[in-house]
Structure formats: C-alpha cells, structure tokens
Amino acid sequence: MSYTEMQPDRPYHAGTDLSACEMISWTAPPEVAVYDTGELPIKAVRHYCTHATGTVRAGSSGGNDEWDALLVNRGGSGMLEIQCDGHVAKSPLRRDVCAFIPCGVDSIFEFPASAGAFTLYFPVGFLPTLPDEKPSSEIQPILAERDGRLAQLMGMVEQEFISPTFGSSLLVDGLIRAIAVMLTKHDSARLAHESERIYLTPLKLKRVTDYVEENLELQIRLDDLAKAAGLSPYHFSRVFKLATGETPYHYLRSRRIERARTMLTQNAAPLAELALSCGFANQSHFTAAFTRELGMSPGRFRRLAAK
C-alpha cells in the first residue's frame, strides 16, 4: 500500500521520501509524516491513522533486512496485538506502549484504524555501536510493553524533529544514545561509576569550548565534542556537566542564543543568513526557536535593540 499524503495541518517535512518505510505492508492506506533527521543515519515516521474502519493489519514478512524498528503508541483506543517470531502479545492501547522489532524478523501488528504511532528506524548494527560496551547478545524484540521512560525519550526525539531548538542535533544524539543503552540493557550504574574516575582537564575543556565557538553554524554532534575532549560520548556527557554545571546540549544552546542576540544587535544581515550562522536549516525553525527561548521574534528583538 502507498502512503497517504499528509493533511496541511500535519508537521510533514517537504522533500522527504515517503517510500523510506515501504518495507511494511498495510491492509489500508495509512496517513504518515516522514521527519527530516538531518545527518543522522536513521528514519523517523509519524503514523497518525489508517483510512479504514475496524481493525488494521500491518507488518513485514522478513523482507526488512536493513532496519531495526522501535515504535511507541501515540493515540487511539482498543487493543494492540503483535505477532512476532512465533510469539503473540496483546496490550490495551496506551501512550507508553512500546515495541522493538529487529531487522529480518517476521511481524504482524493488528490495531484499530484510529491508532497512531511514532517509529524510529535504525540501520542494522547501528544501535549496538552507541553504548560504550557492545552487548553480549543481539537486542531482543519488545512486544507491546509499557515503558514510560522509553516512551518519554521517544517523545522528546519526535518533538525535536517537529520543532528544532538551538541545540537539536546534540540533544537528539544524547536521546538516541540513551535509547540504545535501554534497548541493549547495559549496566548504566557501572558506567556511571566509571565516570566518577574520569574528569575534564582545563586543557580538554578549552578544546571543547573552542570547537563549539568555531563550529556554531554546523550540526555539532555529541561524537564531535567527545572527540575534541578525547573521551567516549557516554563519559563525556557526564564529566562535561561536572566541569561546567551544564549539559553539552544546554551549553551549545546558550552559545547559539548568544550568537543570535549579538548578530541581531550588531548585524543587519537577513534572518535567513542568521539562521544558518546559528546552526538552523531554515529561517522558520530559527524564528520559532528564538521566539520560544526569548519570548519575542527575532525581528522584534532587532527593532527593540535598535532603539
């Protein structure tokens, strides 16, 4: 089945490829949006509803050998049933019901046509590379399980795709890594204990802050900052906060906000140019993020600063 074009009020990102997830077969056409994930090697899809009545079936028959799929329920009432690798799971539809289907595994989902979900697709082998220590075995399927923490992380990722902030790439990086740690079931307590023996020297911290200042217009990733510090991404996030009192995301966000304020005050460049200088792909995202942070639009801020 082909995907139904989004209605105008949906956060559909123009230019994305709806065929990205056509490894799934549907008994009726779904209404979806495919989000722009930037440089991340993942796909993000929002399923709103299915144009049918009663129960809908969707799934793959082992043909998906390139992507692991993680989804969280986002609406609807009734029951969700998942058949996967010879197992069957049923659950009432709640917003924190999650499922993880590894690549190459047969799966069938049955759910009410009004139900919706947010799904992340990861290239096969991608998730195990994110935690500091590789899992001892393959990531196991999750069938219709309630997981408030995982659902919360998924919701935060989706919100950043819908409405990017001044440090979206860094925040999404951290969220994806947190999701990977949960799925691979790593010993987070042990990793935290290891972080207590690692710290950022003043020289390493300066390398990180210098990198940020020199690359504010780029999509700075957690890997980039960790590499500048000579640490793993997991340990870097923790020790950076110990050294500065801020998470890498909040630090990058504050530096980009300060650059935006300075440029709006001292520079008459068009807003589209300022948006690129502050790491945004377009003016609309920049304007929305600036307004959310400072309570006024960039144009109004510039006019007030000129008085």
Residue type, position 296, single letter = M
- Which tokens hold the place of 115? 């139900």
Tell me which residue has tokens 């999701």.
Answer: 179
pLDDT at 190 over 70: no
Q: Put the strands of the sheet holding 97-101 in their side by side order.
A: 30-35, 43-50, 116-123, 67-75, 97-101, 142-146
State the Cα–Cα distance between residues 51 and 28, nearest whole angstrom.
6
**CB-based contacts of 48, cutoff 8 Å, min separation 6:** 10, 30, 31, 32, 33, 75, 116
What is the pTM assigned to this prediction? 0.82
- Which tokens hold the place of 96? 């924190």
Task: Using alpha carbons only, give the angle 211, 179, 118 rounded to the nearest 5 degrees.
Answer: 110
pLDDT at 136 over 80: no
Structural domains in the chain, sorted by start = 18-175 (2.60.120.10), 187-245 (no CATH), 251-306 (1.10.10.60)
State the Cα–Cα distance between residues 90 and 59, nearest whole angstrom.
15
Q: How do residues 9-36 score in pLDDT, each as one tens digit? A: 434 333 334 454 566 788 888 888 899 8
The whole-number pLDDT of residue 242 equals 87
- Among 42-46, 65-69, 123-127, the least confident range: 65-69
Q: List, as one string, the DSSP characters of 70-119.
A: EEEEEE--SEEEEEETTEEEEEE--TTEEEEE-TT--EEEEEETT-EEEE
Q: How do residues 193-231 score in pLDDT, each as one tens digit? A: 554 556 788 899 999 999 999 999 998 999 999 999 998
pLDDT at 1 over 50: no
Task: Report the percent of the chain where pLDDT is more than 90.
Answer: 48
